[in-house]
Amino acid sequence: MSDAVIYDRGYRSYEGELAGRSGVRKAIVKDGIRRILGLRRKARRKILPWGLLGIGVLMAGIFIGLQFVAGSISAAIAEGLPSYPQLFDVYSRISLLFLAVTVPELIGPDRSQGVISVYFSRPMSVLDYLGGKLVAYLLMASSIYLIPQFAFHLGRAALSDDGFLSYLGSNLDILWKILAATLAFVLVHGGLLAVISAYVDRTAFAAATFLGILIAGGAIAGTVAEAAFTGARYFSFLAFDGHARYVRDWVFDVDLDQYAPETAGFSPWVSALSIVVIALVGALWVYRRYRRLA
């Protein structure tokens, strides 16, 4: 047997197939998902995302368990229990925290640690980069809202006296309602977080800024929108979170609370449009910022 040792393998140029720009975009999406979940990062980076996810799944389990226990006693009691919009309300608060602490990780460290100078030296454009990050965000943010909701939906179907398939068939409308409400939250939070993350380097500061804007915006909107001066009602547009909650209530046809846009007399369509505008302005703003940085 030879006892030869390789001290130097030298260097070989890469001769294999290249995946092209679609491969590059996929790599950015994959990296984005890993960043949000803290995968391939130190253990402490996993605590918050996985902890909040765990709480989310636990809440879905509790809601299904309540339905099961109450349903086994009396169908009337089960009818009176919190359902989809209430679960959505609980979820939107958990998700808010989840997105606040994970989304800044998507783009902030690349910029603050100077890594984008390496990324943009690769065969990709700013649109490839931001597009990949956006897809990663949409996939993760939507999943966090949708998976527990669908789990709850399937749980209710399994407990239904009408039978599993019959329940699913007669409650198809709930699917688009879940999707529409999810979209409202994902867009408005995503738009705000993207702009903040494009400027604030530290994740904790970005998360605090985001939550601060939501709280302060809601407070200003709630206070000023009802004032007596002309145009006061337009301050209700500052209730960023209120727009999403107003749309959710509208979609699920419930009235869980009073929101500033509603109090100011705006229809839910105006809030839906505001959400789209916030998302588009956020996307354009971040694009312009990164065009300069690239």
Partner 1 sequence: MSEPVVSVRGLTHRFGDVVALTDLDLDVPAGVTGLVGANGAGKTTLLRVLLGLVHASAGSATVMGYEVSADPIAVRSLVGYMPEGSCIPKDQTAADFVSFAAELAGVPPKDARRRASETLFLVGLEEERFRYLGDFSTGMQQRVKLAQSIVHGPRLVLLDEPAAGLDPAGRAQMLSLIRRLGGFGINVIVSSHVLTDIEDTCDSVVMLAAGRLIRAGALSGRSLAPTISVEVIERGRDLADHLASRGFEVSLAEHTLLVTDPSDDAFDAIRDAAVELSTGILRLGRSAVTLEDEFLASADS
Q: Is residue 80 a contact residue for partner 1 (CB under 8 A)?
A: no
- The DSSP secondary structure of 4-47, one letter per residue, reads ---S--------S---HHHHHHHHHHHHHHHHHHTTTS-THHHH
Q: Is residue 135 a contact residue for partner 1 (CB under 8 A)?
A: no
Of 193, 190, 187, 185, nearest in space to 210 by CA: 193
The nearer residue to partner 1, 133 or 189, going by C-beta atoms, is 133
The nearer residue to partner 1, 76 or 292, going by C-beta atoms, is 292
Count of residues of this chain found to bind partner 1 when the rule CB under 8 A is applied: 38
Taking CB under 8 A as the rule, which mask of x and - marks residues 109-128 in contact with partner 1? xx--xxx-xxxxxxxxx---
Q: Is residue 202 a contact residue for partner 1 (CB under 8 A)?
A: no
In sequence order, what are the residues at sequence separation of 6 or more whose Cβ sits closer than 8 angstroms to the Cβ of residue 46?
37, 38, 39
The nearer residue to partner 1, 16 or 231, going by C-beta atoms, is 16
Q: Are 226 and 245 in contact (CB under 8 A)?
A: no
- By CB under 8 A, what part of segment 3-22 binds partner 1? 8-21
Q: Is residue 277 a contact residue for partner 1 (CB under 8 A)?
A: no
Q: Is residue 45 a contact residue for partner 1 (CB under 8 A)?
A: yes
CA–CA gap between residue 233 and residue 222 (Å, rounded): 9
Residue 203 Cβ vs partner 1, minimum distance, rounded to whole Å: 11
The residue type of 163 is: G
Q: Is residue 41 a contact residue for partner 1 (CB under 8 A)?
A: yes
Write out the two tokens for 149.
């909701």
Q: Are 209 and 261 in contact (CB under 8 A)?
A: no
**Could you say which of 42, 73, 161, 253 contacts partner 1 (CB under 8 A)?**
42
Judged by the rule CB under 8 A, the positions of this chain that interact with partner 1 are 8-21, 23-24, 27-28, 31, 40-42, 45, 109-110, 113-115, 117-125, 294
